[in-house]
Amino acid sequence: MRPSLLSRFTSFLFITPYLAAFCLFLLFPILYGIFISLHNFELLSTEHDFVGLRNYIDIFTPGTYTNSLFFRGLWATIQFVLFSVPLLIVTGLGLALLVNALPRKLRSLFRTVFFVPYALSASVMAVIWLMMFDTNAGFLNGLLAKLSLTGVPWLTDVPWAWVSLIVTTLWWTIGFNMIIFVNALNEVPDDYYEAASIDGAGAWHKFAHITLPSIRPVMLFVMITSTIASFNIYAQPFLLTRGGPGDTTKVLLMNVLDQAFIRKELGSASAMAILMALLIIIISIVQFKLTTGRKENAS
């Protein structure tokens, strides 16, 4: 049966607000960003010459300023992504399982507790964790000193700086992944588990053969959103390590923003941002293909 014209029009009406917002706040900025990236877009100049792919070519030409900005920053960002994404998934799922195993009354309390940091602003997060990580006056090193252990240079040495940034990120953002996983776990029908119990399956087998396959689509969603979020890392290193030690934790977005608003070169900054977006898209597609491909093999 074909939907009537009226009904189709009504449906269209319903998506219009979203469509308008999408065009205004996403589509237009993206297109404008691409437009800017093809120009010598110096913020304070009134004339912006069209330069074609010059900004992009410069980024890939060794020895140029934007080349070192982009690839040094990208390397730092990729390190962060590699460390953080697996932990964001595992910890999120772990917390969800823990919270779900609690008695009903405590469950909502702990869901809230773990979610609260997600609602904090970046500067509040930074103030809290600077106090925790302070080498000479911080809580963690104070604790270590009480145990007669030597302090750790949490923010001024590698790999500790990365450890600190990841711990902070987990604490700050894990609530989101946890809530998604909690909902996914609740969707798994109880009869599966009952049937498995009758067949004599233990907790591990239930988890590996029922829970994990059932939540695979959500897992993929969490993996992709976590990867995107991790690529966009900015506030944590900007406020905690300031890119240090040296420039080891100076991530790509910090460099993009320097280029855009300190150097005021919006053209090459946009080119850097668009390359970063392309990279994220490619990685998301690869993740999607890999995960869905495996599912087909399994079934």
Partner 1 sequence: MKKKPFNWLTLFLMVTALAVVLAGCSGGGNSNNGGADSGTNSGSDTGSGSGGKKTEILFWSPFSGADGPFMKKIVDKYNGSQDKYKVNFVIQPNGEYYKQLDVALSTAKESPDLVIMHVDQVPTYVSKGQLIAIDELASAAGISKADYAEAPVEYSTIDGKWYSIPLDIHPLVMYYNKDLFEKAGITEVPTNREQFDAAVQKLTDKDAGVYGYVVPTLWPQQFIFPTLVWQNGGELWNGSDVAYNSPEAAEMVDWLRGMIDSGISPANVQQDGENTLFLQGKNAIQFNGPWMKSQFDEAGLNYGVAPVPQIGKAKQAVYAGSHGFAIPKNVTDENVTAGIGDFLKYVSSNSMDWAESGQALASKPMLESEAFKALEFQSSVAEAFPYVQFAPNVLNWGTIVEPVWGELNNALLGKKDTQAALDEAVEKSRQAMK
Q: Which residues bind partner 1 (CB under 8 A)?
A: 14, 17-18, 20-21, 24-25, 42-46, 63-65, 68, 130-131, 133-137, 153-157, 239-247, 250, 258-259, 261-264
> Running DSSP on this structure, what letter comes out for residue 119?
G
The distance of closest approach from Cβ of residue 27 to partner 1 in the complex, given in angstroms and rounded to an integer, is 15
Residue 161 CB, nearest approach to partner 1 (Å): 9
Q: Which is nearer to partner 1, 85 or 126 (CB)?
A: 126
Phi, psi for residue 194 in degrees, rounded to 5? -60, -45
Instruction: Considering the complex, state which of residue 132 and residue 196 has its C-beta at the smaller distance from partner 1.
Output: 132
42/283 with CB nearer partner 1 = 42
Q: Least distance to partner 1 from the beta carbon of 233, Å?
A: 17
Give me the half-sphere count of Cα atoms (radius 13 Å) on the Cβ side of residue 232.
10
Tokens 């934007």 locate to 66
What are 179's two structure tokens?
């809530």
Quick one: 136 or 299, whose CB is closer to partner 1? 136
Of 42 and 284, which CB lies nearer to partner 1 in the complex structure? 42
Nearest distance, CB of residue 91 and partner 1, angstroms? 25
- Least distance (Å) from partner 1 to the CB of residue 134? 6
* Token pair listed for 49: 């010459």
As measured in angstroms, the least distance from the Cβ of 259 to partner 1 is: 8
Question: Is it true that the peptide bond before 237 is cis, omega within 30 degrees of 0?
Answer: no
Residue nearer to partner 1 on the CB measure, 209 or 242: 242
Distances in Å between the Cα of 38 and the Cα atoms of 224, 257, 258 are 29, 18, 19
By beta-carbon proximity to partner 1, the closer residue of 16 and 292 is: 16
For the bound state, the minimum distance from the C-beta of residue 21 to partner 1, rounded and expressed in Å, comes to 6
Which of 114, 235, 220 is closest to 169 using CA atoms?
235
Residue 288, sorted as left (phi over 0), alpha (psi -120 to 50) or beta, turns out to be alpha
| Alpha carbons within 13 A on the beta-carbon side of 207 | 9
Cis geometry, peptide bond prior to residue 245 (ω within 30 degrees of 0): yes
Contacts of 292 by beta carbon, 8 Å cutoff, 6+ apart: 220
Pinpoint the alpha helices (H) of 200-265. Answer: 203-206, 212-214, 216-231, 235-239, 252-257
Q: How far is the CB of 277 from partner 1 (least distance, A)?
A: 21
DSSP letter assigned to residue 50: E
Closer residue to partner 1, CB minimum distance, 187 or 278:
187
Structure tokens at 288: 């999607």
For residues 11 and 160, give the distance between their C-alpha atoms in angstroms, rounded to a whole number: 53
